[in-house]
A and B are shown apart, each in its own frame.
Chain A
Amino acid sequence: MKRHLLDATDLDRADATLVLDTAAQIEQALAGREVKKLPTLRGRTVVNLFYEDSTRTRISFELAAKRLSADVINFSAKGSSVSKGESLKDTALTLEAMGADAVVIRHAASGAPHRLASWVKGSVVNAGDGTHEHPTQALLDAYTVRQRLGRLEGVRVTIVGDVLHSRVARSNVGLLHTLGAEVTLVAPPTLLPVGVGSWPAEVTYDLDAVLPKSDVVMMLRVQAERMNASFFPSAREYSRRYGLDGRRMAALPDDAIVMHPGPMNRGMEIAADVADSVRSTIVEQVANGVSTRMAVLYLLLGGSPA
């Protein structure tokens, strides 16, 4: 493995498979235990550097690091020196001086983790940067698919919704392609990024046509905070054309699963009965996030000299 995890595409097939296998062993080793804690990263320090609010990702990383016995420092931009005007570089140098072995960074600017990686000696893990990448989300999604369907090779994954703003979609397309899955993107034309034609994925506007051929349907959140232009006429129309309801779910093959990275807008991109159905993996995805992030921290930090 490389020293940092910045993009899902940093991982070749062997590395990605190693992360998934390691996560599986960790999950299995901790299942049913009273003491869900391993001494692996004792004495190491992991800093969660969150410039954007994200409770679930931060808690997931925090729990992963704590279960490996690392010391965790949570740093949120709000109420810190960032609001006094401190630059990312100065913050990074401060953390470096305090001896952080790994920095988990969430930032609204695409590419911030790459810049950070050039300034610090420790490992950098991208926990979501702007509209660019969210590699650990892609890893936990791949892990969930493999757990439910038993394989990734040849699995047909349909990703539906706001691909333009979605780092989850971008990371998933890259990683799933690396792992041999076939990805189809479904979105309104206004929510597809320029250059999507060069991605290793099919693109279509017609959700109903691809559902019968999908093993996995991954619904993306409609990001109200990024809807700063008229990307679609109305929420109702979006929901009718691109929302997953019970009727659409019935068109799926019998063993197909429904995924969502959370948080959900129930009734918008996903109907409540779909989100709560047995096909939905939304709760498993959260649990798998901890195992997957433990695997990533172990593989990045376990071997590097202090």
Chain B
Amino acid sequence: MARTSEPARSPVPGSAPSTLLAAADVARVVDRMAHQLIERAATADPGSADGGLPDLVLVGIPTRGAPLARRLAARIEAFTGTRVDVGTADITLYRDDLRLRGVRALEPTVLPDAGIDGRLVVLVDDVLFSGRSVRAALDALRDLGRPRSVQLAVLVDRGHRELPIRADFVGKNVPTSRSQQVKVHLAEIDGVDEVVVLDGEP
């Protein structure tokens, strides 16, 4: 587990937002996930000189999965010198809870020019919760092409799954209660890198 620069306080009900990961922790966690991705790609394709990385496509789930995917790709390039394809796949039109939650504005879906057919796709999201977003993303991928295999990378796994879905790469496991919210803030969108836990439903 990543050491935190501030001691991570366990969230107490009724307390103010507590910080799970500060900026330095987010950077360290992303670095560690990048290393794990490199290792896994190499294991999957041990014969190739570049460790199977050209086969790898990181697909971010908007909103915050998209910058996370770009960051992971940048770190992988920094560590290995190999460029990794990045895409984003908006899953809104594939959600099964649109009737419950109402419509939302759509985000772009952009895939690398080489597509995803026959490649190793790693879905990237910020928080893994019920698993319904991931299921929607899998449905979306099925319409976009046929990857060789699909893996899942999340910055935070907070538990409470409603579907049989498990992440392959987890930045941090965070036991939470259902009434809490886990918010990931990223510099690209929110101006600051941090993961906080808030009490109470949205």
Contacts and interface: CB of A to CB of B under 8 A. Distances in A.
A39 B103 CA distance: 14
Given A38-B93, A39-B94, A29 B102 contact: no
Contact of B94 (A22, A38, A303): A38
Nearest to A306: B99
Interface in B117-143: 139, 143
B102 A298 contact: no
A26 interface: yes
B103 A303 contact: yes
Contact of A29 (B90, B100, B103, B139): B90
Given A38-B94, A40-B93, A303 B108 contact: no
A175 B73 CA distance: 43
Interface string A1-23: 10000000000000000100110
Contacts of B101: 303
Contact of A39 (B106, B108, B139): B139
Interface in A25-64: 25-26, 28-29, 33, 35, 37-40
A18 B100 CA distance: 20
Given A37-B143, A299-B103, A302-B102, A25 B108 contact: yes
Contacts of A35: 143
B106 A302 contact: no
A33 B107 CA distance: 17
Interface in B60-102: 90, 93-94, 98-102
B55 to A, nearest CB: 21
Nearest to A23: B106
Contacts, number: 50
A18 B143 CA distance: 25
A33 B143 CA distance: 8
B93 A39 contact: yes
Interface in A138-155: none
B109 A29 contact: yes
Given A18-B105, A21-B106, A22-B105, A29 B93 contact: yes
Contacts of B94: 38-40
Interface string A248-289: 000000000000000000000000000000000000000000
A303 B98 contact: yes
A298 B103 contact: yes
B2 interface: no
A72 B77 CA distance: 49
B192 interface: no
Nearest to A39: B94
A26 B106 contact: yes
Contact-residue bracket for chain A? 20 to 34
Contact of A303 (B93, B102, B107): B102
A291 B185 CA distance: 33
A305 interface: yes
B68 to A, nearest CB: 20
Contacts of A28: 108-109
Contacts of A21: 105-106
Among B103, B105, B107, the most chain A Cβ lie within 10 Å of the Cβ of B103
A304 interface: yes
A302 B103 contact: yes
Nearest to B94: A39
Interface string B151-177: 000000000000000000000000000
A33 B144 contact: yes
Contacts of B144: 33
Nearest to B100: A305
A22 B143 CA distance: 19
A25 B89 CA distance: 11
Among A1, A37, A303: residue with most chain B CB under 10 A: A303
Contacts of B90: 25, 29
Choose among A21, A35, A38, A302 the residue with the greatest number of B CB atoms under 10 Å from its CB: A302
A266 B84 CA distance: 53
B105 A302 contact: no
Interface of A: 1, 18, 21-22, 25-26, 28-29, 33, 35, 37-40, 68, 298-299, 302-306
Given A21-B105, A28-B108, A38-B143, 13 more contacts: A25-B90, A25-B106, A25-B109, A29-B93, A29-B106, A38-B93, A39-B93, A68-B93, A299-B103, A302-B98, A302-B99, A303-B99, A304-B99
Interface of B: 90, 93-94, 98-103, 105-109, 139, 143-144
5 closest A-B pairs by beta carbon, nearest first, are A303-B102, A25-B106, A302-B103, A303-B103, A40-B93
